[in-house]
Amino acid sequence: MTPRERTLETLLFGKPDKVPFQPGGPRESTLKAWQAQGLPPGTGWFGALCAEIGVEPDRPKIQGNPGIVFSMIPEFEQKILERRAGSLVVQDWKGNVCEISDRYDPSYLGGKGGKIDFVTRRWIKCPVENEGDWEAMKTRYNARDPARFPSDFEERCRKLRDRDAYLQISFSGPFWQLREWMGFEGLCMALIDHPALVRDMVRFWEAHVGALLDTLFGHCVPDCIHISEDMAYKQKAMISPAMCREFLMPTWKRWGDQAHRAGVPVYAVDSDGYVGELIPLWIESGFQMNNPLEVAAGNDLPAYRKQFGRRMAYAGGVDKRAMAKGGEAIREEMRRLQPVIDAGGYLPSCDHGIPPDVSWPNMVEYGRLLARATGW
């Protein structure tokens, strides 16, 4: 099977020859730790891991992606606004003003280069605090802006029609996007105090994404539409199921219907935190896969499989704390997940970015166990 076929067969409860080997990935601080612990210098960590454990996962042809930009154009200037003792007050690419350690700089907070590392920040000001801010923000989301598409967009899409790699297109869901504009506290207060403004923002984002998807589907049908929608804490969702139904589900359903009409086989949603009370809403909204299933937040993947059956597939779910402990802890963790792996509809990997307390030797041990569990 090609990597694309194997991934789709797994997520759609088919019969893959083996489950894709996707252990999860590190950020900068983790890589630095691994290089001090035995990761050969100048080599990619994934290739080194595969060589260490003696497996050769398929390498799909380099086919790229359509290159559509869903986020704001132009981005805000990333800059340092103030230097303090041990910290920096910065403006990030989304227009947020926040305080971070002076070990970092604004580039660590994302943008075109993506997130570099795990960075704790103190929020000071968000870009949308009133209707005037919102009207200004709208100007950064013109779906007809040619800059949203690479100059070779049609050629990229033509090449992607004959692909052997799994193609996933990701963008922010309505809760995630409004939280980026207003901040978490600002959004939660607006849901109560300014619901009309929230509805306007959700409808705007829904239409913006929908227009870009129409263009995409006219040239290329991906394998997965993936919604980033972090909206849960350790024990509860950030807003009630009733608020989800009122403010978010219509958008989730519209995008899902749009994707399925175009022939997209997988509609997926990402959220950190405890998602047990959200999964039924996601199933009702048409989602078929959820990740990353953080174990420390109380997510019990074997229990979810019993409760929801084949109505939801999953990715992630391997407890990063067990990975850090290694030994019997990670062996027991893989035994816990083996029945779900065997039942299908599950791509096992670390339940978030791999943190630096997972040593390179323990990463190798985990990789070897994962390769055995998935048939490699």
Where residue 100 falls among pLDDT bands split at 50, 70, 90? very high
φ and ψ at 276, to 5 degrees? -55, -40
* pLDDT at residue 14 in the model: 98
Ordered alpha helix ranges (H), the chain: 3-11, 28-36, 45-53, 131-138, 153-160, 174-182, 184-193, 195-217, 241-243, 249-262, 279-285, 301-308, 320-325, 327-343, 360-373
CB 264 within 8 A of CB 166: no
* pLDDT at residue 113 in the model: 61
Q: Per-domain residue ranges for the chain?
A: 3-73+130-373, 77-126
Where residue 68 falls among pLDDT bands split at 50, 70, 90? very high
> What percentage of the chain has pLDDT greater than the value 90?
93
DSSP string for 14-71: ---SS-------B-HHHHHHHHHTTPPTTS-HHHHHHHHHT----------------S
Where residue 57 falls among pLDDT bands split at 50, 70, 90? confident
Q: Kindly report the average pLDDT of the chain as a whole number.
A: 96
Q: Please give the order of strands across the beta sheet that includes 168-172.
A: 168-172, 224-228, 266-271, 289-292, 313-318, 346-350
pLDDT digit string, tens, across residues 192-250: 999 999 999 999 999 999 999 999 999 999 999 999 999 999 999 999 999 999 999 99
**Residue 105, by phi and psi: left (phi above 0), alpha (psi -120 to 50) or beta?**
beta
Q: At what angle do helices 28-36 and 360-373 cross, to 10 degrees?
A: 100
Which residues are registered as beta bridge partners of 291? Answer: 270
Residue 152 DSSP SS3: coil
Q: Which long-range contacts (CB under 8 A, 24 or more apart) does 139-144 make?
A: 140/72, 140/73, 140/74, 141/72, 141/73, 141/204, 141/205, 141/208, 142/73, 143/207, 143/208, 143/211, 143/212, 144/211
* pLDDT at residue 112 in the model: 64
Buried b (16+ CB within 10 A) or exposed e, 243-268: bbeebbbbbbebbbebbeebebebbb
Residue 35 has pLDDT above 80, yes or no: yes
Mean pLDDT of 117-132: 94
* pLDDT at residue 60 in the model: 78
Write out the two tokens for 364. Answer: 């190798």
Q: How far apart are CA 204 and CA 113, in angstroms?
A: 26
Per-residue CA distances from 316 to 263, 292, 301, 312, 371 (Å): 25, 4, 10, 13, 15
Mean pLDDT of 29-41: 94
* pLDDT at residue 62 in the model: 64
* pLDDT at residue 118 in the model: 85
Q: Report the first-to-last Cα separation within the chain, whole angstroms.
A: 13
Per-residue CA distances from 235 to 278, 295, 298, 351, 369 (Å): 12, 11, 7, 16, 30
Residue 172 has pLDDT above 90, yes or no: yes
pLDDT digit string, tens, across residues 308-340: 999 999 999 999 999 999 999 999 999 999 999
pLDDT digit string, tens, across residues 252-303: 999 999 999 999 999 999 999 999 999 999 999 999 999 999 999 999 999 9
Residue 33 has pLDDT above 70, yes or no: yes
Q: Please give the order of strands across the beta sheet that includes 79-84.
A: 79-84, 87-91, 97-101, 121-125
* pLDDT at residue 42 in the model: 84
Residue 114 has pLDDT above 80, yes or no: no
Neighbours of 138 (CB within 10 A): 14
- The domain 3-73+130-373 is classified under which CATH number: 3.30.870.10, 3.40.50.300, 3.20.20.210, 3.30.470.30? 3.20.20.210
Mean pLDDT of 1-20: 97
CB 19 within 8 A of CB 341: yes
CA-nearest of 271, 160, 172 to 217 is 160
